[in-house]
Chain A
Amino acid sequence: MRSGNRVGRWVRVAALVLLALVVLFPVYYTVVGSVMGPGDIASAPPSLFPHRLTFDNYRGVLHAIPLQRQYLNSILVALAITVSQLVCAVLSAYAFAFLAVPLKRTFFALFLLTLMVPWEAIIIPNFLFMADHQLRNTYLALILPFLAGGFGTFLLRQSFRTFPVELRDAATLDGAGHGRFLWQILLPLSRPALASVAIFVFLSAWNQFFWPLLVTDSPKRQTLQIGLSSLNDAEQANPGLILAGVSMALIPTALLVAFGQRFLVRGLTAGAVR
């Protein structure tokens, strides 16, 4: 029996290692491809490691786009959107979960409806609004349309609803008002849910492409994703250059996922088993 268990364990480990390789290979090749010369990267069969290290691609990226500036733009915009959505989502989710608001279900349905409007359908009205108010090519244009979102409210409401009634009752008995309860009891205990909302919002803001492209004109106002796409030449493929750009853009998201993953998984499944 014991040996059977051990075999089973090894099979499991082998399968997990295999899956990990599948997931990690693109990341590996992104980094390795970025230090390959044009001859190395276009070889058949593809070489899995550089025969000669070159940092030309990195120099090329830094020459082609104002990378540092675009990095800052992306971080600034994504952070602003994340903080604002988090604040809105916490307050509205609190109201939906704990307050006796008339027509609560209707309002909540309206919130959910906003999740179902395809973004593509409102791009043009949004763009015309920005153009009419002379907001094109400003940070405001990048941030304004995303200050609030239904997703965070939905996720936090579900999480708040699973909050033990006893704790809330105890807080009320001790004389805690809404603000004190929210700030000192509910939020500290809802960290996983808050973290997952924050990570999701941050990542989707970080990865935005079409809207920033439409409302910005100068490379200095553009976000990193647009900078990256501009490395893509119309006439000839230059994979090394693009991989170098992607390697640099990958850092914040990779860190976020590496450190936030345990919150991410816990947050998504919170309330799922009830």
Chain B
Amino acid sequence: MKLRRTWTLTAVTAALALTAGCGGSKGSDSAGSTSAPGADALKDPVTVSFWHAMKGANADALNALVAKFNSAHQGKITVKATFQGSYDDTITKYKAAVSAKQTPALVQIYDVGSGFMADSGQAIPAQSFADVDKLDLSDLQPAIKGYYSRGDKLQSMPFNSSVPVLYINKTAFTKAGLDPAKPPTTLDEIRADAEKIKASGAAKFGFGAAIYGWFFEQLTAEAGKTYCNNDNGRTTRADAVTFDDPEQVKVLTWWKGMVDDGLATNTGRKTDDAQAAFKSGTVAMHLESTGALGGYVKAAAGKFEVATAPFPKVESSDTGGPVIGGASLWIGGPGHSAAEQRGAWEFAKFLIQPENSAFWHTQTGYFPVSKAALDEDVDKKWVADKPQFQTAIDQLAATPSGVPTQGCLLGSLPQVRALVENAIESVLTSNKDPKAALDDAASQAKALIEKYNASVK
């Protein structure tokens, strides 16, 4: 997903993070523990407040699931879902609510907010509930489960997940004499194909992607490398980023070469602009999340055909794979009664049942977190209608588990991502040396992370 930054938001978020850190450690309510209550906690009817950031068709699907849950638990649990704005807005409001001790029992937080949530002391790990219930979590997609785990303990309930893919303008590809069935798999192959596309005039540019730190994180994972130390922050809290791998330097060198030679266009940081370039047929290859598929097919109708391919690797010998993106659900501990906590968990559990996961998948295009969901009839039919999505399924199935593809768990990941974007931008537009740009980003990140870690100790 996208981070829309304003400096106001950043400043306030930072300030709130500090107050939230203090508030969290002081939580002294009787229900303030972060241990999971059992099913016996649900004696009287309880209302579970649920904050989310879903809009449009996604919000409709979510509300339908909430209604289904509420009618199945009539007189016992009522989930009250309220929309809180963008992912950024939601986490900012959540931080404010922490200092005011008015958090919701269940909150949807985007992937890069996971580090902060895990550190905040506000949430009961989903694993604790699963242990109490002796619930088998093996139906969860391993790559998705891994992302939301710290030291093998599932922290939050995965919900809406998306993966990055390589989008291809099939029509331009064919016109350039390339075979869409043999899409490029490495950065060098993208370059070779871009040269042919440009030379044939099938599209103005061969390649175009937003200067978006998420893609750098993905390519790092594809290379089988970590993004931050201490095993991507999965064993203990990370205190530095690891930006010194040759593959990471190559990403920037390659990107600059593409732009300098006119093979790629630089549309800047806004993902909207890069999306527009692909939708208009200006670029023939493009990196984006599976979440954009529906919009692409609609915009391309009558102009060109959209195909997808696995997200590229840096070198053909790379051993990694993509990292999952999206958001997960966090169950509130401090300030919530055992019944509320239990009610929130029941709803989270309900959402990952194969039937509901398949409903969510087919209504929204997000990846189903339940493996069995893909075997549901509605799901099979949906994928058959949208062959482009099969790429995402195959890609996730082929993703090797391990530290690199778990992604980096870091409280200050949103800010670090911005530093990476600065680095890419300075390489593309002002000829900064790729290695020096990454080194600078790493040292700035170190200072940020140290400050954050000191605030949550």
Contacts and interface: CB of A to CB of B under 8 A. Distances in A.
B295 A38 contact: yes
B93 A236 contact: no
A42 B56 contact: no
Contact of A210 (B12, B271, B280): B12
A44 B1 contact: no
A84 interface: no
Contacts of A218: 82
Contacts of B292: 235-236
A176 B292 CA distance: 70
A124 B93 CA distance: 11
Interface stretch (B149-157, B297-305, B411-419, B444-452): B297-305
Nearest to B327: A234
Contacts of A136: 102
A233 B89 CA distance: 13
B100 A237 contact: no
B122 interface: no
Contacts of A237: 271-272, 275-276, 295
Q: Which 9 A-B pairs have the closest CB atoms?
A: A235-B291, A131-B100, A42-B279, A237-B272, A44-B280, A236-B295, A236-B292, A38-B299, A234-B1
Contacts of A41: 299
A127 B204 contact: no
B11 interface: yes
Contacts of B84: 217
Interface size class of A (residues with CB under 8 A): 35 or more
Contacts of A238: 295
Contacts of B56: 60, 64, 233
Interface string A166-184: 0000000000000000000
A54 interface: no
17 contacts: A38-B279, A39-B299, A44-B204, A44-B280, A124-B96, A124-B99, A132-B100, A210-B8, A210-B9, A214-B92, A230-B85, A231-B55, A232-B55, A234-B291, A235-B291, A236-B292, A236-B296
A123 B82 contact: no
Nearest to B300: A39
B360 to A, nearest CB: 14
Contact of A232 (B4, B83, B110, B204): B4
Contact of A234 (B9, B12, B87, B277): B87
A83 B132 CA distance: 58
Contacts of B99: 124, 128
B308 interface: no
Contacts of B279: 38, 42
Contacts of B295: 38, 236-238
Contacts of B82: 217-219
Contacts of A219: 82-83
Contacts of A120: 8, 11-12
Interface string A205-229: 0000010011001110000001001
Interface string A222-265: 00001001111111111100000000000000000000000000
Contacts of A39: 298-303
A235 B110 CA distance: 12
Contacts of B204: 44
B399 interface: no
B53 interface: yes
B85 A213 contact: yes
B344 interface: no
Contact of B294 (A46, A124, A128, A236): A236
Interface in B251-291: 271-272, 275-277, 279-282, 289, 291
B2 interface: yes
Given A38-B295, A42-B279, A124-B99, A235 B85 contact: no
A236 B162 CA distance: 12
Interface string A32-69: 00000011011110100000000000001000100000
B363 interface: no
A44 B279 CA distance: 9
A127 B100 contact: yes
Nearest to B15: A124
Given A226-B85, A230-B83, A38 B93 contact: no
Contact of A43 (B9, B86, B280): B280
Contact of A124 (B4, B19, B87, B299): B19
Contacts of B8: 120, 210
Nearest to B325: A235
B446 to A, nearest CB: 26
A238 B56 CA distance: 11
